[in-house]
Amino acid sequence: MKMTLIFLYVSIFPSLVYSQQIDSLKIYSKTFDKERKILIYTPREYDIKPDSKYEVIYVFDAQAREFFDNVHSSLSFLNNSQFPMIVVGIVSEKRNRDFLPKNEYLETFKDYNGNLGDVDKFVSFLSNELIPYIDKHYRTLPKRISIGHSNGATFITYCLLKNPGIFDAYIAISPNYVYDKEQLVKMIEKFDPNQLKSTKFIYLCNANEGDKWISASKKVISSLKSRLFKDKIIIVSQDFSKTCNHTTVYPTGVINGLENYLDYQFFNVNNLIAYYSELYNKKLINLSPEILKNISHSFLIKGRIEDATKILLWAVQLFPDELYLYNKIGEMYQNQNNNSEAIKYYKLFKEKAEQHKDLFSQEQLENLKKIVDTQIKNLENK
């Protein structure tokens, strides 16, 4: 569906830190036949690296600006800007109408004063208007993450069930699963997981909202952890009922939800290699020996030397002529007391140096070979 931009830059908020930028847009939606306000955060890397693309986080309830700001601020601290993302905040003037499905019980209609039931229109707006607009006007990668609180968390769960292609990850903070006598709980129990064409990551947390809310959340968690969803859903759940109430849980949920998602997608070495390999093969991202050495170092500083080594071994597959990778892998294996593999890669380093001797002066090459020979000899004598 074509989207018309009504007011591109209502205002631009240059960040005081790292030149981050927030665009405030108003766009016309045919679905709602009115303008919708959107906030878009781009990290400092967006301007520094004009050829790079970024994953997108969609934040609901951005009419409460602190919700939106909390997400993009937390993200920078969590991953040290190594995996920067675009953050889109969606303003809802009538949040319950946007977020909640049509009621099945008259009591629900009365409880919400009839202010509900446009959820399918909101799903259509996201999938047919907003997301295509963001993908067209910003440099985005296909992976999308959603963050919702309370009824916003109910909404992103509804998206999973009704249009699972919209998001890849869901951070649901204190979802209202008691809504309409647990309508969403029943929907999940009847959901056919074969509708999921790819694995979904779900983070779900609750606060001190009372027994009914916690009970409904436990039912959802139990369903999503069942055998039916094996290999379809990766779910992490946390209970903050002893430390947080329904309001104060938001920043706690954001920090923990994002941290768990980053651990799953970017600090799980096998997931990271599979994901980046797919993007690289599709020419959606640029990789270089330097980028992969930096990623390897991020695992190393976490004390995960085996994972750091895996990244370098992958780098060698992609860049077999980057000779210093071989030396670095040799050092990694040596630090793991795997002397046979260390010797193997030191020898490969020496061979690669010989093949690329035009990179060195004769004196440099001879000194390098002596150093490597000494390392090999010391390891062979152990």
> Which residue segments constitute the domains of the chain, with CATH numbers given?
4-271 (3.40.50.1820), 287-380 (1.25.40.10)
Average pLDDT of 51-78?
94
Q: Taking the model in full, what pTM does it have?
A: 0.90
Burial class (CB in 10 A: 0-12, 13-18, 19+), 164: middle
Percent of the chain topping pLDDT 70? 94
* Predicted pLDDT of residue 80: 64
Q: What is the 3-state secondary structure (H, E, C) of the chain?
A: CCCEEEEEEEEEEECCCCCCEEEEEEEEECCCCEEEEEEEEECCHHHHCCCCCEEEEEEECCCCHHHHHHHHHHHHHHCCCCCCEEEEEECCCCHHHHHCCCCCCHHHHHHCCCCCCCHHHHHHHHHHHHHHHHHHHCCEEEEEEEEEECHHHHHHHHHHHHCCCCCCEEEEECCCCCHHHHHHHHHHHHCCHHHCCCCEEEEEEECCCCHHHHHHHHHHHHHHCCHHHCCCEEEEEEECCCCCCCCCHHHHHHHHHHHHHHHHHCCCHHHHHHHHHHHHHCCCCCCCHHHHHHHHHHHHCCCCHHHHHHHHHHHHHHCCCCHHHHHHHHHHHHHCCCHHHHHHHHHHHHHHHHHCHHHCCHHHHHHHHHHHHHHHHHHHCC
* Predicted pLDDT of residue 96: 94
* Predicted pLDDT of residue 293: 94
Encode pLDDT of 342-378 as tens digits: 999 999 999 998 898 888 888 888 888 899 889 899 9
Lowest model confidence (mean pLDDT) among 114-128, 264-278, 353-367: 353-367
* Predicted pLDDT of residue 381: 84
From residue 23, how far is each of 13, 37, 49, 54, 353 by CA, in Å? 7, 11, 18, 16, 49
For residue 25, pLDDT beyond 60: yes
Average pLDDT across the chain, whole number: 91
